[in-house]
């Protein structure tokens, strides 16, 4: 008879482990201070509670409010209005925690004149009137055009008030203005009803028309930045909400609550969506960034949605370095457990491919996996960092970024010399800032000073500026050439001011007709297409430099760009290096850094960049930090909690091997050599200097054409053409026969199964499992064609997914 346990014991055993109830850890009040100016002003307050389990809750309506000087402030729900000049303090209390914020009221009895730029233009943005699908289109919509996303407010004012007098604006009866009637749906409108007649947006437009459609004075304060609060939230399941508030800062030092005028959007509506009032609603498990756009500024806040009531307990771990600590901190917020550490055989194959673009030899594999040395992984990383193949891998990457490709205006000789200069820089571990300054400020002949080819490969000064921003800062500013960037901070002014650094580049022919001399002309300007004025050199995201007459503007830019004063420089290259080892960047794509494409782990990217800068831009040191981390050395096998994670590095990614390395590895394991145009026999694909030199294999597997600075040129996605070429093309089949590896192994006296084991180690850096041996054994049974069987095994290994991918 089976013994029976008491029911209460069974109940305890089956019940889930309950964690202690979370307690409030911090009370946050936003904004941290309030400044109200004029009777038109107001400020919304948001109160957020942070709990010990990391969850946050909007407790604005549940908290207790107390104002010590109610005579100067009037409260209506979560809004504060000015009553009289003075100062006060607002105390917010909730569950034993409290915060006090200062309030200052000035000019409470004075009104603020309605402003076209500060009040009306935001209405067009909020209502979607000046987007590309509406009146912001290149030719407008239904005969009415607005500047796209408001890049030309003066032009918009003219088109509204002067282009068709008496039609769009009715000064006598503002409500009958076509601008009003179409927006509120009183008359047919292709864009439909944009807002209600009683809405604040409509009241702003009516007040402006009633005031005579005034144009703003020349000294009108401008919006310099906006802030979105709260900056982060972790929501407990679907249905949870969080109100936001948006604060604008102006050039005259004033602030303004623009929550009702800001346009909101989410980059992942499935996990967290936001409505027009600024209320965020949680959805399915995941991460989203909520963005607010006002004037020309866009900012974002991170929102994490977890399953309702998810029970999670952090597992102990031992970080190797700061990378592991920062990745673990993000995973804890997401309630994700990382995968286990990879095996020695997985590690050695992965690190060889990533660092030298080759596979470990049989001898290197055996020595490593059989070594009892606890530091063998670190020693192997240092060994590979010192090999010339490591330099070749990164020279090849830089050749892609710098678009090294011969054409009608750049000779093959120039490209080869340019490539050799790059080899010298990277092989000598020249600090990255020194190399980039040398490149961007270079003058001289394209033969004698090869780095000047950067300005010969692309001659258009606007495209040069775009390339510099994309390569060295990771930013695509092309949109801002025609209009303010819709999803980033860059305006037309920013674009042309930055382009003016390259307006004085001179070119002339050298003694050799193939050589060009790059020099500073000392004259030449870029005209702004809207204002018609000469653009003034201003750093992208920085200040306006002092440039003396005749000074090379490129030198001024280079000294700022490749320095700690420019935070984007170190972050860009830290992100590019990270992408190489994970197949996905902290910001991805790596050359599309913008407000609306935020880093998946901002603290990680910031720290990688800071460490990189502090090391005097030691490239190898950055690579070593990444490869030593447990984050890099994790298995690709996922667990239940990280099964759907693709951006937070809870596991290593399975990555198709890059085209050049793929061909080099196939040649390595088959013991064959390749013959590339204008290179000696036996050269590796990764050593090709000229992007114009290629083969069918490299093209099929997505080698970059080096025609643009875009990272998208490198194609890493598997395709049917690739599979067919490997199976039926001449690359694999011919190399198996030409290399004679199978004959060599037979001559060493190895039996068929020993040869199979050697092939597995050579191709996959692991030995065959017992099941695999059993399935292959019939190929070598008595009376079978052993040679054909071995060739079939070799062919199958070279066509396997395990061989073609790094994992």
- The residue-averaged pLDDT of 659-676 equals 95
User: What is the per-residue burial (b if ≥16 Cβ within 10 Å, else e) of 725-749?
Assistant: bbeeeebbeebbeebebbeebbeee
Q: Which own/partner contact pairs does 139-148 have at CB distance under 8 Å and 24+ positions apart?
A: 141/190, 141/191, 142/190, 144/168, 147/483, 148/482, 148/483, 148/484, 148/486
* Residue 467 banded pLDDT, cuts 50, 70, 90: very high
* % of the chain with per-residue pLDDT over 70: 97
Answer yes or no: do 541 and 449 share one domain.
yes
Answer yes or no: do 459 and 558 share one domain.
yes
* Residue 20 banded pLDDT, cuts 50, 70, 90: low
pLDDT at 122 over 50: yes
- 613 domain-assigned: no
Domain-terminating residue out of 563, 578, 606: 563
Domain-terminating residue out of 179, 210, 241: 210
Answer yes or no: do 98 and 137 share one domain.
no
Answer yes or no: do 151 and 96 share one domain.
no
Answer yes or no: do 439 and 549 share one domain.
yes
* Residue 499 banded pLDDT, cuts 50, 70, 90: very high
The one-character DSSP state at 231 is S
Answer yes or no: do 134 and 195 share one domain.
yes
Paired sense of beta strands 297-306 and 232-236, if any: parallel
Answer yes or no: do 52 and 161 share one domain.
no
Hey, which residues does 82 pair with through a beta bridge?
Answer: 73
Can you give the residue range of the structural domain that contains 444?
A: 431-563
Q: Whole-angstrom Cα distance, residue 454 to residue 567?
A: 23
Domain-terminating residue out of 563, 596, 630: 563
- 803 domain-assigned: yes
Tell me if 30 sits within 8 A of 45, measured CB to CB.
yes
The two three-digit tokens of residue 717, written as one number: 């996605």
User: What HEC string does 433-463 produce?
Assistant: HHHHHHHHCCCEECCCCHHHHHHHHCCCHHH
pLDDT at 3 over 80: no
**Could you read off the pLDDT of 776-807 as tens digits, one per residue?**
999 988 888 999 999 999 999 999 999 999 99
- 419 domain-assigned: no
Answer yes or no: do 506 and 524 share one domain.
yes
CATH number at residue 87: 2.60.40.10
Neighbours of 578 (CB within 10 A): 27
- 247 domain-assigned: no
- 332 domain-assigned: no
Read off the pTM: 0.88
- The residue-averaged pLDDT of 399-414 equals 94
Query: How much is the pLDDT for 1?
Result: 35
Answer yes or no: do 107 and 171 share one domain.
no
- 48 domain-assigned: yes
Torsion sign (Cα): 383, 386, 387, 392: positive
* Residue 280 banded pLDDT, cuts 50, 70, 90: very high
Query: How much is the pLDDT for 235?
Result: 95
Please state, in angstroms and as integers, the Cα–Cα distance from residue 333 to each residue in 48, 227, 282, 303, 328, following that order. 17, 23, 15, 11, 9
- Comparing 717 with 652, the larger pLDDT belongs to 652
The one-character DSSP state at 762 is H
The residues near 215 (Cβ < 8 Å, ≥ 6 apart) are 116, 154, 157
Query: How much is the pLDDT for 309?
Result: 84
744: helix, strand or coil: helix
- 133 domain-assigned: yes
pLDDT at 2 over 70: no
Answer yes or no: do 436 and 558 share one domain.
yes
Mean pLDDT of the chain: 92
Answer yes or no: do 64 and 168 share one domain.
no
**Could you read off the pLDDT of 34-79 as tens digits, one per residue?**
999 999 999 999 999 999 988 999 999 999 999 998 899 999 999 9
The tally of CA atoms less than 13 A away on the side-chain side of residue 21 is: 2
CA-based radius of gyration for the chain: 32
**Could you read off the pLDDT of 600-625 as tens digits, one per residue?**
999 999 999 999 999 999 999 999 99
Query: How much is the pLDDT for 21?
Result: 67
The domain tally of the chain equals 4
Query: How much is the pLDDT for 8?
Result: 32
- The residue-averaged pLDDT of 358-375 equals 96
* Residue 311 banded pLDDT, cuts 50, 70, 90: confident
Answer yes or no: do 532 and 552 share one domain.
yes
- 177 domain-assigned: yes
Query: How much is the pLDDT for 458?
Result: 95
């Amino acid at each position: 008879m089976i013994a029976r346990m008491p029911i209460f014991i069974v109940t305890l055993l089956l019940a889930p482990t309950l964690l202690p109830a979370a307690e409030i850890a911090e009370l946050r009040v936003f904004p941290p201070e309030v400044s109200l100016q004029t009777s038109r002003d107001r400020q919304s307050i948001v109160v957020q509670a942070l709990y010990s389990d990391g969850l946050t809750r909007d407790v604005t309506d549940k908290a207790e409010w107390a104002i010590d000087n109610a005579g100067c402030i009037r409260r209506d729900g979560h809004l504060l209005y000015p009553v009289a000049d003075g100062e006060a303090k607002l105390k917010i209390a909730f569950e034993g925690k409290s915060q006090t914020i200062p309030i200052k009221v000035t000019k409470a009895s004075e009104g603020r004149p309605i402003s076209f730029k500060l009040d009306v233009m935001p209405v067009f943005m909020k209502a979607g009137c000046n987007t590309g699908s509406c009146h912001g289109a290149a030719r407008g919509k239904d005969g009415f055009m607005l500047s796209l996303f408001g890049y030309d407010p003066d032009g918009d004012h003219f088109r509204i008030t002067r282009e068709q007098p008496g039609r769009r604006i009715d000064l006598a009866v503002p409500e009958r203005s076509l601008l009003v009637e179409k927006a509120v749906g009183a008359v047919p409108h292709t864009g439909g009803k944009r807002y209600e007649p009683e809405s604040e947006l409509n009241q702003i437009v009516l007040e402006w028309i009633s005031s005579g459609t005034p144009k703003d004075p020349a000294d009108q304060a401008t919006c310099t930045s906006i802030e979105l609060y709260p900056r982060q939230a972790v929501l407990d399941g679907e249905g949870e909400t969080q109100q936001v508030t948006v604060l604008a800062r102006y050039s005259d030092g004033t602030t303004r609550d623009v929550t009702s005028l800001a346009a909101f959007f989410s980059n992942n509506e499935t996990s967290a969506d936001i409505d027009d009032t600024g209320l965020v609603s949680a959805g399915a498990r995941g991460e989203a960034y909520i963005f607010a756009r006002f004037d020309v500024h866009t900012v974002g806040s991170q929102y994490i949605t977890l399953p309702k009531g998810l029970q999670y307990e952090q597992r102990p771990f031992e970080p190797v370095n700061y990378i592991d600590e920062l990745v673990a901190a993000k995973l804890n917020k997401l309630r994700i457990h990382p995968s286990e550490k990879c095996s020695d055989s997985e590690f050695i194959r992965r690190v060889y491919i990533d660092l030298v673009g080759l596979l470990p030899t049989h001898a290197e594999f055996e020595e490593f996996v059989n070594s009892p040395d606890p530091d063998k992984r670190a020693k192997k990383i240092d060994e590979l960092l010192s090999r010339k193949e490591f330099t070749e891998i990164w020279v090849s990457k830089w050749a892609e970024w710098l678009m090294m490709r011969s054409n009608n205006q750049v000779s093959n000789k120039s490209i080869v010399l340019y490539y050799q200069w790059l080899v010298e820089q990277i092989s000598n571990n020249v600090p990255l800032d020194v190399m980039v300054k040398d490149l961007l400020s270079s003058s001289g002949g394209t033969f004698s000073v090869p780095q000047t080819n950067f300005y010969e490969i692309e001659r258009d000064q606007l495209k040069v500026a775009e390339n510099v921003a994309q390569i060295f800062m990771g930013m695509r500013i092309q949109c801002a050439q025609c209009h303010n960037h819709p999803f980033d901070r860059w305006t037309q002014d920013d674009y042309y001011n930055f382009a003016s650094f390259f307006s004085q580049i001179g070119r002339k022919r050298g003694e050799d007709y193939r050589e060009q001399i790059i020099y500073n002309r000392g004259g030449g300007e870029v005209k702004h297409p809207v204002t018609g004025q000469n653009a003034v050199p201003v750093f992208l995201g920085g200040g306006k430099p002092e440039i003396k007459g005749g000074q090379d503007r490129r030198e001024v830019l280079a000294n700022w760009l490749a320095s700690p004063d420019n935070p984007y420089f170190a972050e860009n290259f830290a992100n590019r290096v990270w992408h190489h080892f994970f197949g996905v960047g902290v910001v991805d794509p790596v050359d599309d850094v913008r407000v609306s494409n935020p880093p998946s782990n901002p603290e990680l990217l910031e720290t990688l960049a800071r460490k990189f800068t502090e090391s005097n831009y030691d490239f190898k040191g950055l690579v070593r930090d990444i490869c030593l981390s447990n984050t890099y050395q994790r298995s690709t096998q996922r667990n239940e909690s990280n099964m759907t994670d693709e951006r937070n590095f809870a596991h290593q990614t399975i990555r198709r091997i890059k085209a050049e390395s793929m061909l080099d590895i196939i040649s390595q394991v088959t013991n064959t050599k390749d013959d590339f145009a204008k290179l000696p026999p036996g050269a590796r694909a990764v050593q090709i200097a000229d992007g114009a030199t290629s083969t069918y294999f490299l093209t099929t597997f997505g080698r970059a054409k080096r025609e643009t600075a875009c990272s998208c040129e490198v194609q890493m996605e598997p395709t049917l053409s690739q599979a067919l070429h490997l199976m039926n093309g001449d690359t694999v089949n011919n190399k198996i026969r030409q290399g004679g590896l199978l004959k060599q192994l037979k001559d060493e006296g190895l039996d068929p199964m020993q040869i199979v084991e050697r092939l597995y180690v050579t191709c996959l850096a692991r030995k065959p499992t017992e099941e695999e041996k059993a399935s292959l054994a019939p190929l070598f049974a008595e009376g079978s064609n052993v040679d054909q069987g071995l060739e079939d095994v070799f062919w199958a290994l070279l066509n396997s997914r395990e061989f073609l991918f790094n994992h």
